[in-house]
Structure 1
């Protein structure tokens, strides 16, 4: 269950048109960690998936971890926490991007959280505060297809005995998605039509 709505005072712009619709390269000298969660209600399992790519679109690291879970909001926050933890040890500037606006807002909101998710939200805030080289951002779901595929792999496509994967190179089931992301990220912006 998502925590009750509270006034959002975060610095996240809520104008949906200000977000890219396809994966975008991070700024020069930065990495981008896209993360997502997936759930399998029938098995009460969830997983987080994350991919880290550099400013040239090259794969740095990917992983997926399965865990017990049935609450979408909590699973998304856990995916963000997992991404922050892994990205914080890299020592590089990293954009930590999630497609769950509620989770990103809850973490960035300057008010104290309450309820069953308070501890993990506070943990994410503390991790971000201890890692000034990380920046948590919201991005639309269409920018997060690789992380989504990694998360779904762990929760749906593997045997019950497995559940934690790490990839130093893009696994075959996301190569086409990575290629499409790169092509769209590097495509020139189409000029405005003539008046």
Structure 2
């Protein structure tokens, strides 16, 4: 398991873009989303290949959970999906530094069972690299998590990008640059 963090606080504007995984790898972007009115938590994620093409996406309404749990659940669910589909070279990008750090190193935590599930997936017989990414480079996963609020029962799998996510996917593939202040 390789875990890195790449974000550094800065007051200077930064150019940020989604980056493709290495040739032969897939990339999992995952995210959680919270609405305050009415209270709702949802998760989402996407697997894309080394050309930036869509493989599969997922969305799910989580229900009641802590803020940290809705950041960890999409990691576990995305790793499970990638493993189940047979991918064995997976780059994972999470915009939650806390999730990345806790998955790497925790002793006792109220969400220990969920974190242990993630760790067990990361330690399986595959090349799986988890790192932190900036929120601006995770917009597709964020949009899929937002769609999770509309899920009525169980996880929704997206064989193709939903209409309101398609533009973001195309911008990523073209190397659209976002400015982070």
TM-score (norm 1): 0.79
Match of 1:168 in 2: 159
Name the structure 1 match of 2:94. 98
Does structure 2 retain, via aligned residues, the 8 Å contact 1:27–1:55? yes
SS of structure 2 residue aligned to 1:55: coil
Corresponding position: 1:140 with 2:134: yes
The answer to whether structure 1 residue 12 and structure 2 residue 5 are counterparts is: yes
Work out whether 1:77 is the aligned partner of 2:51.
no
Unaligned runs of 5+ in 2: none
Q: Residues 114 and 63 of structure 1: is their aligned pair in 2 closer, same or farther, counting only changes over 3 Å?
A: same
Q: Which runs of 4+ in 1 moved over 2 A?
A: 10-17, 40-45, 89-92, 161-164
Contact 2:41–2:65 (Cα < 8 Å) also in 1: yes
Decide whether the 8 Å contact of 1:41 with 1:70 is kept in 2: no
Cα offset, 1:126, TM superposition: 1.2
- The partner residue of 2:104 within 108, 125, 128 is 108
When residues 13 and 98 of structure 1 are mapped into structure 2, their CA distance, relative to the original with a 3 A threshold, is closer
Alpha-carbon contact 2:7-2:133 (below 8 Å) kept: no
Distance 1:64 1:97 in 2: 17
Question: Could you say if the C-alpha distance between residues 55 and 16 of structure 1 is closer, same or farther in structure 2, counting changes exceeding 3 Å?
Answer: farther
Contact 1:33 1:97 in 2 (8 A): yes
Unaligned runs of 5+ in 1: 1-9, 188-195
- Which one scores higher on RCO, CA 8 angstroms, separation ≥ 6? 2
Alpha-carbon distance, 1:152 to partner: 0.4
Is the CA contact 1:30–1:54 (under 8 Å) kept in the aligned structure 2? Answer: yes
CA shift for structure 1 position 142: 0.5
The 1:163/1:154 distance shift into structure 2, 3 A limit, reads: farther
TM-score with structure 2 length normalisation?
Answer: 0.84
SS of equivalent to 1:169 = coil
For 1:24 and 1:91, the matched residues in 2 are separated by 19
Offset, 1:13: 4.8
Aligned residues: 171
Q: Residue 163 of structure 1: CA displacement?
A: 5.3
Compared CA separation, residues 30 and 38, structure 1 to 2 (3 A): same
